[in-house]
Amino acid sequence: MDLNQVTVPTKNIESAILFYQKLGLKLIVHSTNHYARFECPNGTSTFSIHQADELKGGEGIWIYFECKNLDEDVDRLQKEGLEFDELPNDKSWLWREARLKDPDNNQLILYHAGENRKNPPWRLKDAK
């Protein structure tokens, strides 16, 4: 099994498309004003958005995008006008992360984890 895509709701499809394109995703499907899908710049996963009348409350959805050059990517995105809630910093779980919100208040975490992404020191022994 492999993860194909994740789809999140948006209240404004056009605004969300512009945001995710600025983030670096490539728009590959925009068949209606209710749905759009993007390719990630690396790997084979896709990410999509769909128009919703209502968004769930609470903290929203948390979306992680791994970046090989996190600090440089964040610097470039800041120059393009994206505002970050948290600039790149090292976490106790051995990842380097930066955080920002999309137009629908979903939490985006841009990060670099390297080998620790799937194989942290505390990985279950039976999971290898």
What was the pLDDT predicted at 127? Answer: 73
Q: Are 96 and 90 in contact (CB under 8 A)?
A: yes
Query: Residue 10: which pLDDT band, with cuts at 50, 70 and 90?
Result: very high
What was the pLDDT predicted at 33? Answer: 87
Six-digit token pair at 122? Answer: 């505390």
pTM for this prediction: 0.91
Structural domain for 20, as ranges? 5-127
Mean pLDDT, all residues of the chain: 94
**pLDDT tens, 20-65?**
999 999 999 998 889 999 999 988 999 999 999 999 878 789 999 9
Six-digit token pair at 10? Answer: 């948006």
Query: Residue 9: which pLDDT band, with cuts at 50, 70 and 90?
Result: very high
Q: Is the pLDDT of residue 126 over 90?
A: no
The domain spanning residue 78 has which CATH number?
Answer: 3.10.180.10
d(Cα 121, Cα 91) in Å, to the nearest integer?
14
Q: Are 112 and 95 in contact (CB under 8 A)?
A: yes
Q: Domain count of the chain?
A: 1
